[in-house]
Copies of this chain bind each other. A is one copy, B any other.
Amino acid sequence: MARMTMIEAIRDAMDVKMGMDEDVVVFGEDVGYFGGVFRCTQGLQEKYGRHRCFDAPINESAIVGAGIGMATYGKRPCIEIQFADYVLPAYDQIVSEAARIRHRSNGQFTAPIVIRMPTGGGIFGGQTHSQSPEAIFTHVSGLKTLIPSNPYDAKGMLIAAIEDDDPVIFLEPKRLYNGPFDGHHENAVTSWAKHEKGEVPEGHYTVPIGKANVVETGMDVTILAYGTMVYVAQAAARENNIDAEIIDLRSLLPLDLDTIVNSVQKTGRCVVLHEATLTSGFGAELTALVQQHCFKHLEAPVLRVAGWDTPYPHAQEWHYFPGPKRVGKALKRVVEAQ
Protein backbone atom coordinates (compact mmCIF):
# COMPACT_ATOMS: atom_id res chain seq x y z
CA MET A 1 0.00 0.00 0.00
CA ALA A 2 1.18 3.48 -0.80
CA ARG A 3 0.47 6.78 0.88
CA MET A 4 -1.24 9.05 -1.55
CA THR A 5 -2.82 12.46 -1.59
CA MET A 6 -6.32 12.62 -2.90
CA ILE A 7 -4.96 14.00 -6.16
CA GLU A 8 -2.66 11.03 -6.54
CA ALA A 9 -5.44 8.63 -5.66
CA ILE A 10 -7.71 10.12 -8.27
CA ARG A 11 -4.96 9.99 -10.85
CA ASP A 12 -4.22 6.43 -9.89
CA ALA A 13 -7.85 5.44 -10.37
CA MET A 14 -7.79 6.78 -13.92
CA ASP A 15 -4.43 5.17 -14.52
CA VAL A 16 -5.70 1.78 -13.36
CA LYS A 17 -8.81 1.99 -15.50
CA MET A 18 -7.00 3.30 -18.58
CA GLY A 19 -4.63 0.42 -18.25
CA MET A 20 -7.44 -2.13 -17.97
CA ASP A 21 -9.88 -0.80 -20.52
CA GLU A 22 -8.87 0.94 -23.67
CA ASP A 23 -12.30 2.47 -24.03
CA VAL A 24 -11.56 4.73 -21.08
CA VAL A 25 -10.65 8.20 -22.36
CA VAL A 26 -9.80 11.22 -20.26
CA PHE A 27 -10.22 14.77 -21.44
CA GLY A 28 -11.03 18.28 -20.33
CA GLU A 29 -9.51 21.73 -20.14
CA ASP A 30 -5.73 21.63 -19.60
CA VAL A 31 -5.77 17.92 -18.71
CA GLY A 32 -3.54 16.70 -21.55
CA TYR A 33 0.05 17.89 -21.83
CA PHE A 34 -0.19 19.93 -18.65
CA GLY A 35 -2.00 17.36 -16.51
CA GLY A 36 -4.80 19.56 -15.21
CA VAL A 37 -4.75 22.68 -13.08
CA PHE A 38 -4.86 20.48 -9.98
CA ARG A 39 -2.56 17.94 -11.64
CA CYS A 40 -5.06 15.12 -11.38
CA THR A 41 -4.25 13.82 -14.86
CA GLN A 42 -0.52 14.40 -14.81
CA GLY A 43 1.39 11.81 -16.78
CA LEU A 44 -1.64 10.14 -18.30
CA GLN A 45 -1.15 11.61 -21.75
CA GLU A 46 2.46 10.56 -21.79
CA LYS A 47 1.57 7.07 -20.66
CA TYR A 48 -1.52 6.40 -22.78
CA GLY A 49 -1.03 8.70 -25.75
CA ARG A 50 -2.77 11.75 -27.02
CA HIS A 51 -5.82 9.84 -28.17
CA ARG A 52 -6.59 8.59 -24.71
CA CYS A 53 -5.92 11.72 -22.68
CA PHE A 54 -6.25 15.12 -24.31
CA ASP A 55 -7.00 18.79 -23.91
CA ALA A 56 -10.42 20.14 -24.76
CA PRO A 57 -11.58 23.58 -25.87
CA ILE A 58 -13.00 25.78 -23.11
CA ASN A 59 -16.59 24.76 -23.64
CA GLU A 60 -18.01 22.68 -20.83
CA SER A 61 -21.24 22.01 -22.66
CA ALA A 62 -19.37 20.64 -25.67
CA ILE A 63 -17.03 18.64 -23.47
CA VAL A 64 -19.97 16.86 -21.92
CA GLY A 65 -21.94 16.71 -25.16
CA ALA A 66 -19.06 15.18 -27.08
CA GLY A 67 -18.44 12.87 -24.13
CA ILE A 68 -22.02 11.68 -24.35
CA GLY A 69 -21.58 11.02 -28.04
CA MET A 70 -18.42 9.03 -27.38
CA ALA A 71 -20.16 7.09 -24.64
CA THR A 72 -23.03 6.15 -26.91
CA TYR A 73 -20.45 4.95 -29.40
CA GLY A 74 -18.99 2.69 -26.73
CA LYS A 75 -16.23 4.66 -25.07
CA ARG A 76 -16.05 5.37 -21.34
CA PRO A 77 -15.20 9.05 -21.08
CA CYS A 78 -13.92 10.29 -17.76
CA ILE A 79 -14.19 14.04 -18.07
CA GLU A 80 -12.76 16.81 -15.96
CA ILE A 81 -14.60 20.08 -15.47
CA GLN A 82 -11.98 22.51 -14.19
CA PHE A 83 -14.13 23.78 -11.31
CA ALA A 84 -17.62 22.66 -10.31
CA ASP A 85 -18.67 26.28 -10.77
CA TYR A 86 -18.12 25.83 -14.49
CA VAL A 87 -20.36 22.83 -14.95
CA LEU A 88 -23.47 24.96 -15.33
CA PRO A 89 -23.08 25.55 -19.09
CA ALA A 90 -23.15 21.75 -19.39
CA TYR A 91 -26.23 21.36 -17.25
CA ASP A 92 -28.57 20.87 -20.20
CA GLN A 93 -26.35 18.19 -21.76
CA ILE A 94 -26.12 16.44 -18.40
CA VAL A 95 -29.81 16.59 -17.50
CA SER A 96 -31.61 16.47 -20.83
CA GLU A 97 -29.17 14.11 -22.48
CA ALA A 98 -26.79 12.05 -20.35
CA ALA A 99 -29.40 11.36 -17.70
CA ARG A 100 -32.22 10.67 -20.14
CA ILE A 101 -30.75 8.72 -23.00
CA ARG A 102 -31.16 5.28 -21.50
CA HIS A 103 -34.78 5.87 -20.57
CA ARG A 104 -35.88 7.65 -23.70
CA SER A 105 -34.22 5.09 -25.99
CA ASN A 106 -35.47 2.30 -23.75
CA GLY A 107 -31.97 1.02 -23.22
CA GLN A 108 -30.75 1.17 -26.83
CA PHE A 109 -28.31 3.95 -26.07
CA THR A 110 -26.56 4.63 -22.80
CA ALA A 111 -24.13 7.23 -21.57
CA PRO A 112 -21.65 5.76 -19.12
CA ILE A 113 -19.75 8.95 -18.53
CA VAL A 114 -18.00 10.24 -15.44
CA ILE A 115 -17.89 13.98 -14.88
CA ARG A 116 -15.25 14.84 -12.31
CA MET A 117 -14.99 18.29 -10.80
CA PRO A 118 -13.33 20.00 -7.87
CA THR A 119 -15.98 21.35 -5.52
CA GLY A 120 -16.28 23.42 -2.35
CA GLY A 121 -14.49 26.39 -0.91
CA GLY A 122 -11.66 27.10 1.38
CA ILE A 123 -9.02 28.23 -1.08
CA PHE A 124 -9.99 31.90 -1.39
CA GLY A 125 -11.47 31.14 -4.75
CA GLY A 126 -14.35 33.55 -4.46
CA GLN A 127 -17.78 32.85 -5.78
CA THR A 128 -16.66 31.15 -8.99
CA HIS A 129 -14.14 28.68 -7.58
CA SER A 130 -15.95 27.52 -4.44
CA GLN A 131 -19.46 26.36 -5.13
CA SER A 132 -20.99 22.99 -4.29
CA PRO A 133 -23.63 22.12 -6.87
CA GLU A 134 -24.63 18.63 -5.69
CA ALA A 135 -28.30 19.46 -5.17
CA ILE A 136 -28.88 20.36 -8.80
CA PHE A 137 -27.73 16.85 -9.68
CA THR A 138 -29.44 14.86 -6.95
CA HIS A 139 -32.75 16.17 -8.26
CA VAL A 140 -32.12 14.54 -11.63
CA SER A 141 -33.31 11.00 -12.17
CA GLY A 142 -30.83 9.01 -14.21
CA LEU A 143 -27.73 10.49 -12.59
CA LYS A 144 -25.60 9.21 -9.77
CA THR A 145 -23.82 11.73 -7.58
CA LEU A 146 -20.75 10.84 -5.54
CA ILE A 147 -18.39 12.76 -3.31
CA PRO A 148 -15.43 11.11 -1.59
CA SER A 149 -13.76 12.47 1.51
CA ASN A 150 -10.38 10.74 1.46
CA PRO A 151 -7.82 9.18 -0.90
CA TYR A 152 -8.92 5.61 -0.27
CA ASP A 153 -12.53 6.30 -1.10
CA ALA A 154 -11.61 8.64 -3.93
CA LYS A 155 -9.76 5.94 -5.80
CA GLY A 156 -12.22 3.17 -5.11
CA MET A 157 -15.22 5.30 -5.88
CA LEU A 158 -13.75 6.72 -9.06
CA ILE A 159 -12.98 3.24 -10.34
CA ALA A 160 -16.53 2.22 -9.49
CA ALA A 161 -17.84 5.31 -11.25
CA ILE A 162 -15.89 4.61 -14.42
CA GLU A 163 -17.17 1.04 -14.38
CA ASP A 164 -20.73 2.12 -13.77
CA ASP A 165 -23.02 1.97 -16.77
CA ASP A 166 -24.85 5.16 -15.88
CA PRO A 167 -23.65 8.75 -15.88
CA VAL A 168 -21.92 9.72 -12.67
CA ILE A 169 -21.23 13.17 -11.25
CA PHE A 170 -18.02 12.88 -9.26
CA LEU A 171 -17.41 15.80 -6.91
CA GLU A 172 -13.92 16.24 -5.51
CA PRO A 173 -13.70 18.45 -2.41
CA LYS A 174 -10.69 20.49 -3.44
CA ARG A 175 -9.94 21.53 0.12
CA LEU A 176 -9.18 17.88 0.83
CA TYR A 177 -6.87 17.33 -2.12
CA ASN A 178 -3.75 17.62 -0.04
CA GLY A 179 -4.93 16.72 3.41
CA PRO A 180 -7.95 16.28 5.67
CA PHE A 181 -9.27 19.67 6.69
CA ASP A 182 -11.31 20.26 9.81
CA GLY A 183 -12.37 23.83 9.12
CA HIS A 184 -9.79 25.43 11.37
CA HIS A 185 -8.17 27.41 8.61
CA GLU A 186 -5.91 29.15 11.08
CA ASN A 187 -4.12 25.85 11.74
CA ALA A 188 -1.58 24.17 9.51
CA VAL A 189 -3.04 21.33 7.46
CA THR A 190 -1.98 17.77 8.14
CA SER A 191 -1.13 15.88 5.01
CA TRP A 192 -2.67 12.65 3.85
CA ALA A 193 0.65 10.98 4.55
CA LYS A 194 -0.29 11.13 8.19
CA HIS A 195 -3.83 9.90 7.85
CA GLU A 196 -4.86 6.26 7.67
CA LYS A 197 -7.20 6.99 4.78
CA GLY A 198 -4.15 8.17 2.88
CA GLU A 199 -3.22 4.50 2.58
CA VAL A 200 -4.29 3.49 -0.86
CA PRO A 201 -3.97 -0.04 -2.22
CA GLU A 202 -2.27 -0.48 -5.53
CA GLY A 203 -4.17 -1.64 -8.57
CA HIS A 204 -7.83 -2.27 -8.87
CA TYR A 205 -10.41 -2.08 -6.12
CA THR A 206 -13.78 -0.42 -5.79
CA VAL A 207 -15.76 1.30 -3.10
CA PRO A 208 -19.32 0.41 -3.98
CA ILE A 209 -21.69 3.15 -5.08
CA GLY A 210 -24.61 3.64 -2.73
CA LYS A 211 -22.89 2.72 0.51
CA ALA A 212 -22.28 5.24 3.26
CA ASN A 213 -19.42 4.97 5.71
CA VAL A 214 -19.92 5.28 9.44
CA VAL A 215 -16.83 7.26 10.31
CA GLU A 216 -17.49 7.42 14.02
CA THR A 217 -20.02 5.54 16.05
CA GLY A 218 -21.76 7.38 18.82
CA MET A 219 -24.93 7.60 20.83
CA ASP A 220 -25.82 11.27 21.23
CA VAL A 221 -26.57 12.41 17.73
CA THR A 222 -26.18 11.36 14.12
CA ILE A 223 -24.31 13.71 11.86
CA LEU A 224 -24.88 13.33 8.15
CA ALA A 225 -22.00 14.81 6.23
CA TYR A 226 -19.95 14.42 3.07
CA GLY A 227 -16.75 15.73 1.58
CA THR A 228 -14.95 18.37 3.64
CA MET A 229 -17.75 18.52 6.18
CA VAL A 230 -16.88 15.06 7.48
CA TYR A 231 -13.77 16.48 9.14
CA VAL A 232 -15.59 19.56 10.34
CA ALA A 233 -18.13 17.25 11.94
CA GLN A 234 -15.38 15.33 13.71
CA ALA A 235 -13.76 18.50 14.95
CA ALA A 236 -17.02 19.97 16.18
CA ALA A 237 -18.04 16.80 18.01
CA ARG A 238 -14.63 16.43 19.58
CA GLU A 239 -14.41 20.04 20.67
CA ASN A 240 -17.84 19.92 22.24
CA ASN A 241 -17.44 16.50 23.80
CA ILE A 242 -20.36 15.12 21.93
CA ASP A 243 -20.61 11.42 21.30
CA ALA A 244 -21.68 11.74 17.71
CA GLU A 245 -22.23 9.07 15.13
CA ILE A 246 -20.77 10.55 12.00
CA ILE A 247 -21.87 9.20 8.66
CA ASP A 248 -19.89 10.04 5.56
CA LEU A 249 -22.54 9.60 2.89
CA ARG A 250 -20.09 9.24 -0.02
CA SER A 251 -22.91 8.48 -2.44
CA LEU A 252 -25.69 11.06 -2.44
CA LEU A 253 -27.69 9.38 -5.14
CA PRO A 254 -28.27 6.50 -4.76
CA LEU A 255 -28.41 7.11 -1.05
CA ASP A 256 -27.70 4.60 1.70
CA LEU A 257 -30.95 5.24 3.51
CA ASP A 258 -30.69 2.14 5.70
CA THR A 259 -27.48 3.24 7.32
CA ILE A 260 -28.93 6.67 7.98
CA VAL A 261 -32.20 5.40 9.39
CA ASN A 262 -30.54 2.81 11.60
CA SER A 263 -28.30 5.41 13.08
CA VAL A 264 -30.94 8.04 13.73
CA GLN A 265 -33.28 5.47 15.20
CA LYS A 266 -30.49 4.74 17.62
CA THR A 267 -29.42 8.28 18.48
CA GLY A 268 -32.79 9.98 18.14
CA ARG A 269 -31.13 13.17 16.97
CA CYS A 270 -29.69 14.35 13.72
CA VAL A 271 -27.70 17.20 12.29
CA VAL A 272 -27.14 17.55 8.57
CA LEU A 273 -24.15 19.38 7.14
CA HIS A 274 -23.11 20.76 3.80
CA GLU A 275 -21.15 23.60 2.35
CA ALA A 276 -23.66 24.43 -0.38
CA THR A 277 -26.23 27.14 0.29
CA LEU A 278 -28.92 26.03 2.68
CA THR A 279 -32.19 26.49 0.86
CA SER A 280 -33.08 23.56 -1.38
CA GLY A 281 -29.68 22.06 -0.72
CA PHE A 282 -29.24 18.31 -0.48
CA GLY A 283 -29.61 18.67 3.30
CA ALA A 284 -33.28 19.36 2.73
CA GLU A 285 -33.72 15.94 1.15
CA LEU A 286 -31.79 14.27 3.94
CA THR A 287 -33.88 16.05 6.54
CA ALA A 288 -37.12 15.15 4.81
CA LEU A 289 -36.11 11.49 4.68
CA VAL A 290 -34.95 11.38 8.28
CA GLN A 291 -38.12 12.93 9.67
CA GLN A 292 -40.20 10.58 7.56
CA HIS A 293 -38.39 7.37 8.46
CA CYS A 294 -37.40 8.16 12.05
CA PHE A 295 -40.34 10.25 13.14
CA LYS A 296 -41.11 8.29 16.25
CA HIS A 297 -37.48 8.17 17.27
CA LEU A 298 -36.65 11.84 16.88
CA GLU A 299 -36.23 13.75 20.10
CA ALA A 300 -35.38 17.01 18.46
CA PRO A 301 -35.89 18.55 15.07
CA VAL A 302 -33.25 17.73 12.52
CA LEU A 303 -31.02 20.78 12.14
CA ARG A 304 -29.12 21.75 9.05
CA VAL A 305 -25.85 23.66 9.03
CA ALA A 306 -24.88 24.85 5.60
CA GLY A 307 -23.49 27.69 3.56
CA TRP A 308 -25.49 30.87 3.88
CA ASP A 309 -27.91 31.70 1.10
CA THR A 310 -25.48 34.09 -0.51
CA PRO A 311 -22.80 33.74 -3.17
CA TYR A 312 -19.53 32.44 -1.73
CA PRO A 313 -17.75 35.69 -0.83
CA HIS A 314 -14.03 36.17 -1.37
CA ALA A 315 -12.99 38.18 1.68
CA GLN A 316 -15.53 36.68 4.05
CA GLU A 317 -14.76 33.12 3.03
CA TRP A 318 -14.29 31.90 6.59
CA HIS A 319 -17.42 33.62 7.76
CA TYR A 320 -19.29 31.82 5.06
CA PHE A 321 -17.78 28.39 5.53
CA PRO A 322 -19.83 26.29 8.01
CA GLY A 323 -16.91 25.65 10.33
CA PRO A 324 -16.62 23.75 13.61
CA LYS A 325 -17.98 26.63 15.64
CA ARG A 326 -21.29 26.81 13.82
CA VAL A 327 -21.56 23.05 13.63
CA GLY A 328 -20.78 22.78 17.33
CA LYS A 329 -23.55 25.17 18.20
CA ALA A 330 -26.07 23.15 16.22
CA LEU A 331 -24.87 19.91 17.78
CA LYS A 332 -25.35 21.35 21.25
CA ARG A 333 -28.79 22.65 20.41
CA VAL A 334 -29.89 19.30 19.09
CA VAL A 335 -28.31 17.25 21.85
CA GLU A 336 -29.63 19.47 24.57
CA ALA A 337 -33.15 19.76 23.16
CA GLN A 338 -35.73 18.11 25.37
Contact = CB atoms under 8 A, between A and B. Distances in A.
A92 to B, nearest CB: 4
A255 to B, nearest CB: 8
B279 A138 contact: yes
B141 A103 contact: no
Q: Is the interface of A mostly helix, strand, loop or mixed?
A: helix
A153 B303 CA distance: 34
Contacts of A135: 135, 139, 280
Given A139-B135, A284-B280, A300-B295, A85 B89 contact: no
A142 interface: yes
A325 to B, nearest CB: 20
A280 B291 contact: no
A4 to B, nearest CB: 32
A298 B88 CA distance: 38
A96 B91 contact: no
A322 to B, nearest CB: 15
A96 B85 contact: yes
A288 B271 CA distance: 12
A321 B303 CA distance: 32
A104 B88 contact: no
A140 B309 CA distance: 8
Given A127-B104, A310-B103, A311-B100, A138 B292 contact: no
B301 A292 contact: yes
B279 A284 contact: no
B288 A283 contact: yes
B287 A291 contact: yes
A7 to B, nearest CB: 26
Between A61, A95, A136, the greatest number of chain B beta carbons within 10 A of the residue's beta carbon is seen for: A136
Identical subunits present: 2
Contact of A91 (B91, B127, B287, B304): B91
Determine which residue in A91, A100, A253 has the highest number of CB atoms from chain B within 10 A of its CB, and name it: A91
A138 B100 contact: no
Contact of A280 (B95, B100, B139, B277): B139
B309 A141 contact: yes
A128 interface: yes
Contacts of A284: 280, 284-285, 287-288
Contacts of A85: 96
A152 interface: no
Give the interface centre of A276, A280, A282, A303 by most chain B CB atoms within 10 Å: A280
A328 B143 CA distance: 30
B141 A311 contact: yes
Interface string A133-162: 001101111100000000000000000000
Interface in A98-129: 100, 103-104, 127-128
B295 A301 contact: yes
7 contacts: A88-B96, A104-B127, A138-B280, A142-B311, A279-B285, A291-B302, A292-B303
Given A88-B92, A139-B276, A280-B280, 4 more contacts: A136-B139, A140-B277, A288-B302, A292-B304
3 shortest A-B CB distances, which residue pairs? Answer: A139-B280, A88-B92, A287-B288
